[in-house]
Amino acid sequence: MLLAPKGFGHYWKTHYADKTFEHLYRWNTFDTVMLIPYFIVMLILAFYGVHRYQLVWLYFKNKKSAAKWNEPPMRFDRNHLPFVTIQLPIFNEQFVIERLIEAVCRLDYPRDRFEIQVLDDSTDETTGVASAIVERYARGFAGMEPQPILYLHRSNRHGYKAGALDKGLDVARGEFVAIFDADFVPPPQWVMQVIDHFAEPEIGMVQTRWTHLNRNYSFLTQVEAILLDGHFVLEHGGRSRAGVFFNFNGTAGMWRRETIATAGGWQHDTLTEDTDLSYRAQLVGWKFKYLQDVECPAELPIEMTAFKTQQARWAKGLIQTGKKILPRVLKSDAPWHTKLEAWYHLTANISYPLMIVLSVLLMPAMIIRSWQGYIQMLLIDFPLFIASTMSVSTFYMVSQKELYPKTWYKSIIYVPFVMALGGVGLTITNTKAVIEALFGVKSAFARTPKYSVKKKGEKSQAKVYRKRLGIVPWIELAIGCYFAWTVYYAISTENFFTVPFLLLFVFGYWYTGLLSLLQGRFERSGPGQEIHEKPYPVGV
């Protein structure tokens, strides 16, 4: 991205400066053709990078506005607590469903004031496993009294998760609806920590913070945990404290049922039905709360392809939601800063295709500008580099310091890998997802497989739900080789300042590519059969 003091451009200038004006004109045209898109891309990436700094600023500026679970402005009468429906949408989750149901049945809330719905769209052994578990807990199991739990199975996955949630609402009795995905383990006190915040009649949704059951399982899960911590601390924290729109994360949150209805209900024309409903609800006047101090543990993906599948679904869904919702937001009566934050939020994944463009232009731009020297580099390239790249490390380290004030420094070692994986390694899969969203290409709601693993080295059942790899890992390895060549060029031209930045590209692409190809290679000789989910177009 940055410049070498000597190079091809210097060679050209030295040897051809006395040639005809025509030759010089061709060279200047080539300069323009290469450098204009290069700087446009860098400026846009810097634009989103500066926004990370802004979220950090909003988080600390509005610290006094943070909602706390034990300080609700109003409380419900303990003798007349509202009725709560707990929805558990699942699809092919045979390894984690028992853990989820057990945790939900142990929630500390009056048994005559809540019900549990297991909303099962599964097409594999999960149906038998889940229905048997529900039957046991409905009768009374493991020293518990009979639980108010109901099993609902759909043979037609119409609308995917959104369709399942909507179907459950048809028979739900609750005034409030809590939702937990299959890989979550809500603690017993969760409902009581959340419910009183709905005593304020204008509150439509309360989101709680995800934590990580298997954070220490592997190097990959450590990096994933830091990425999610940044989202839940600074994005949700900054937006909620500033009073702008933010979103329900699909799980570990509770809705007022009236809010869902008045916002138009669950809709399945995007892959992020949670964000879609969130914006529609806030546009019609409902207020949301984020309780950072209420934790809900969940399992992180343990394989690279599962992680990439999850991230691609979120990237595509946010762009789809942006196309659908942003025109309404911009035409609404919301304050301008709310509209601007919504723009940042819903369009942020456009940075992935821009990273592809930057990857293509990086080497030509380096060669062209190599003769210009360090002054222009420091005045132009370096500020853009700080804005677009260094903001990532600042963003995630601040989140770690907020969560772990005494041990946050131990996470510093992961920062380069967070930048390499989150900013570079996901570029290929997320670019494909973003382009599909921009051009209206529909795809299935691809669930993220989980296996109930916690400890380092614990054997998983990953082969059962392992995804097909396709050509993407090979493309990632090839691009990594290209950047390895740019590292060699930078060193050969004594452009040492660019080397650390270029190495992030090399590591990001090689790490994601190799981990995708090598995952489970030593388990495939054992028994078991790979199951591949049948793709259905969105809305079918």
Least-confidence region, from 33-37, 339-343, 377-381? 377-381
Whether 67 shows a pLDDT value over 90: the answer reads: yes
pLDDT score recorded for residue 14:
46
Neighbours of 159 (CB within 10 A): 22
| Closest to 429 (Cα-Cα) out of 325, 527, 356, 347 | 356
pLDDT in tens, 265-305: 999 999 999 999 999 999 999 999 999 999 999 999 988 98
- The H-or-E segment that residue 279 falls in is helix 273-283
Q: How confident is the model at residue 203 (pLDDT cuts 50, 70, 90)?
A: very high
Give the rounded distance of the alpha carbon of 136 from its chain centre: 35
190: CB partners within 8 A, 6+ apart: 107, 178, 208, 294, 296
Least-confidence region, from 48-57, 154-163, 527-536? 527-536
Whether 525 shows a pLDDT value over 50: the answer reads: no
Neighbours of 523 (CB within 10 A): 14
Length of the chain: 540
Q: How confident is the model at residue 24 (pLDDT cuts 50, 70, 90)?
A: very low
Least-confidence region, from 27-31, 144-148, 309-313? 27-31
Q: How confident is the model at residue 495 (pLDDT cuts 50, 70, 90)?
A: confident
> What's the one-letter identity of residue 134?
V
Going by the DSSP 8-state scheme, the letter that residue 538 receives in this structure is T
Dihedral sign, CA of 15, 19, 21, 23? negative
Calculate the average pLDDT of the chain: 86
d(CA 342, CA 346): 6
Whether 449 shows a pLDDT value over 80: the answer reads: no
390-408: average pLDDT: 92
Asked if residue 85 lies in contact with residue 114, where contact means CB atoms within 8 angstroms, the answer is: yes
Q: How confident is the model at residue 494 (pLDDT cuts 50, 70, 90)?
A: confident
pLDDT score recorded for residue 408:
94
221-226: average pLDDT: 96
Asked if residue 242 lies in contact with residue 63, where contact means CB atoms within 8 angstroms, the answer is: no
SS3 state of residue 223: helix
> What's the one-letter identity of residue 365?
A
Whether 532 shows a pLDDT value over 90: the answer reads: no
Neighbours of 375 (CB within 10 A): 9
363-377: average pLDDT: 66
Q: How confident is the model at residue 537 (pLDDT cuts 50, 70, 90)?
A: very low
d(CA 463, CA 469): 13
Whether 25 shows a pLDDT value over 70: the answer reads: no
User: What is the percent of the chain where pLDDT is above 90?
Assistant: 65
Domains assigned to the chain: 32-73+221-246+304-540 (no CATH), 77-220+247-303 (3.90.550.10)
Whether 493 shows a pLDDT value over 90: the answer reads: no
Going by the DSSP 8-state scheme, the letter that residue 250 receives in this structure is S
User: What is the percent of the chain where pLDDT is above 70?
Assistant: 84
SS3 state of residue 120: strand
Residues known to be catalytic:
121, 274
pLDDT score recorded for residue 399:
96
CA angle 224, 125, 304 (to 5 degrees): 20
- pTM, 2 dp: 0.88
pLDDT score recorded for residue 510:
95
116: CB partners within 8 A, 6+ apart: 85, 86, 88, 101, 104, 105, 147, 148, 149, 150
Strand segments (E) across 247-311: 253-256, 287-298
